[in-house]
Amino acid sequence: MMAYLFCHFTGEQKNGEQVYFSVSKDGLTFTDLNQGHPVLKSDLGEKGVRDPFLVKGKDTYYLIATDLRIEKGLGWAKAQTNGSRQMVIWSSTDLVYWTNPWTATIAPEDAGNLWAPEAIYDAEKETFFVYFAANVNGKHKIYSVSTKDFQTFTEPVLFIEKTMDVIDTTIVFSQGYYYRFTKNEENSRIFLDRSQQLTGDYQEVTSEYLAQLEGVEGPQLYQLPDGKWALIVDHFKKGTGYGIAVSDDLATGVFEPVSAFDFGQSIKRHGGLITITDDEYQRLLTYYQQKNPVLDGLYADPDLVSFNGKFYLYPTSDGFTDWSGTSFSVFESEDLTQWTNKGTILDLASSQVKWAIGGAWAPCTAEKEGTFYFYFTGKMADGRSGIGVAYADHPTGPFIADEKPLLSPDLIDDYGLNMSQVIDPSVYVEAGKYYLLFGNSAGGTAAIVALGDDMRTVKLDTLAEYQGLEDFREAITVLKKDDFYHFTWSGEDTRSEDYHVNYGTSSSLYGPIHYHYPVLQKNVEKGILGTGHHSILEHSDRYYIAYHSFAVPLSKYPEEARGFHRQVRISPLDFDEAGYMKQVIV
């Protein structure tokens, strides 16, 4: 099975000159990814890109693009004579995680610009043939360079020169010939020629269809599942975006227009289209078409776990002024997507929990020898918070709560802990031993303590504070991978749109912790704000991070109330080649 990835820009509006992705299974119907927002943005050169193009080498994808942003008021005349001579480049091994962009100045020294770069990969030589338009001495021509890594390049040489200006060349190989589709800049039409050698002599291929097309640019060719060639061109003068025509044989120059196609919600401007595997297609949907929020209603502080082949979410019930909710619910799923509310499992305002009256926050759950232990934050009559425990024979209860808190707020003074509140427990298990991490403080730190064998007591002689938690506020968690302990914790205030998750590592469960960077942050463009208080689940060699963000639409709630009107989200979590967490795509 194969699919298609179309990278493109959308126009001269704000953020229109950046890189957008759309995907298709049939090459005719496309779905915009990332909710129609840019997937990649350039902050180099002109701080905008047009004409993005994808090419795959041996094991790496490269995305190259024109360094140009008309939206800032550059003007087309200046863009041709005094524009950028560099292209912007990204690379990726999986089409999801991309490097930071870099630039390469490859146009001739006397060129006024560099437009619409594309490339072909020579597998035998492991070399890319890169070609692009450049205005030299007042005339647009097509030049080429070669590279193995998009870092170093050969000197530019002339590839196409006609009596008229030419730009926007694209090349495909079919039945022993290289076919070039190029825009005649003077009449905005596309002409076709071919050669048996990439840099050989090209002969024109007559095409009545191309001859009657006008006001078009940005041609792209790809094969449909039935083997036919699809030609798409950007009808830029009409402002209608791309249209499609198909051909059985490029040598004939015969194309038949297609009427039944759909390029998605946004108008597509000059881009590049490649075939991808079904796995790559599914991966793009997983990361850039996330089905969030996952729960109906207002919930926060999710604890995501897996028991007996099913997934469970234990969140804070949200939507109560100043976090004044009193009950906990549990949700069950078989696929991490469809969730069923299995009901209330604990109500702190009832006789179920004798030591607490409310403030039901931030639970976590663990299983030991067939019994399920539910650790939760509760507020006592004096207004201080502690951590309690309840237990059950099934993940959905019924749970029985102990009469006294497992961790009392007196712990802070009794042991001189540098924290403000005893809240936000998380469980860590290693070699049959169970630990509880907890704490909240602006400027302080978190702590760890071993649980007793009964899971309902703690071994206070193991209590210790963490060192190295930069920008710590609350919600510390830990997992072990590749002999290192990976710590994550929330920074900022949950009422702030800048609430986020930080990341650090240690060679010891007890630290000290080496801080790395924020691993989960807001996405302003998509309206995903206040991302934090998370849990991490490993399942089938994959990792998932559950977290909350401000409820959407944001306009539904007053700004001062967003911190207790939140929704639960789940996103994939990955590690890089060095073994560190990658920043989460939200």
pLDDT tens digits for range 395-404: 999 999 999 9
Residue 462 Rama label (left phi>0; alpha psi -120 to 50; beta): alpha
In DSSP terms, 23 is beta-bridged to 5, 31
pLDDT tens digits for range 211-243: 999 999 999 999 999 999 999 999 999 989 999
Helix (H) or strand (E) holding 281: helix 278-288
The pLDDT of residue 507 is 98
The pLDDT of residue 74 is 82
Cβ atoms of residues 247 and 204 within 8 Å: no
The pLDDT of residue 320 is 96
3-class secondary structure for 213-280? CCCCEEEEEEECCCCCEEEEEEECCCCCEEEEEEECCHHHCCCEEECCCECCCCCCEEEEEEEEEHHH
Enter the tokens of residue 545. 């991070």
185, 280, 424, 474: the active-site residue: 474
CA distances from 407 to 143, 166, 352, 445, 451 (A): 71, 74, 18, 16, 11
Helix (H, G, I), strand (E, B) or coil at 32: strand
3-class secondary structure for 434-450? EEEEECECCCCCCEEEE
Tell me the C-alpha distance between 404 and 445, whole Å.
Answer: 25
Helix (H, G, I), strand (E, B) or coil at 212: helix
| Stated pTM of the model | 0.93
The pLDDT of residue 385 is 97
pLDDT at 184 over 90: yes
Nearest to 229 by CA among 265, 184, 177: 177
Fold of the 2-288 domain? Tachylectin-2; Chain A (2.115.10)
In DSSP terms, 67 is beta-bridged to 49
The pLDDT of residue 1 is 76
Tell me the C-alpha distance between 36 and 31, whole Å.
Answer: 9
pLDDT tens digits for range 53-63: 999 999 999 99
The pLDDT of residue 39 is 98
Cβ atoms of residues 318 and 566 within 8 Å: yes
Specify whether 474 is catalytic: yes
The residue ranges of every structural domain in the chain are 2-288, 322-330+343-465, 471-586
Question: What is the per-residue burial (b if ≥16 Cβ within 10 Å, else e) of 168-202?
Answer: bbbbbeeeebbbbbbbbbeeebbbbbbeeebeeeb
- Confidence band for 83, pLDDT divided at 50, 70 and 90: very high
Q: Is 322-330+343-465's fold the same as 471-586's?
A: yes
**Torsion (CA) 370, 371, 372, 374 in degrees, nearest 10:** -160
Cβ-based neighbours of 444, under 8 Å, separated by 6 or more = 417, 418, 419, 420, 472
Which residue type sits at 274? Answer: I
301, 318, 424, 492: the active-site residue: 301
pLDDT tens digits for range 439-482: 999 999 999 999 999 999 999 999 999 999 999 999 999 999 99
Percentage with pLDDT > 70 across the chain:
100
pLDDT tens digits for range 297-319: 999 999 999 999 999 999 999 99
Enter the tokens of residue 382. 């004096």
Nearest to 488 by CA among 513, 512, 454, 462: 513
Enter the tokens of residue 318. 């949200």
CATH architecture of the region 322-330+343-465 = 5 Propeller (2.115)
pLDDT at 287 over 90: yes
- Confidence band for 77, pLDDT divided at 50, 70 and 90: very high
**Torsion (CA) 193, 198, 201, 207 in degrees, nearest 10:** -10
Tell me the C-alpha distance between 529 and 522, whole Å.
Answer: 5
The pLDDT of residue 503 is 99
Fold of the 471-586 domain? Tachylectin-2; Chain A (2.115.10)
Sign of torsion over alpha carbons 263, 265, 268, 274: negative
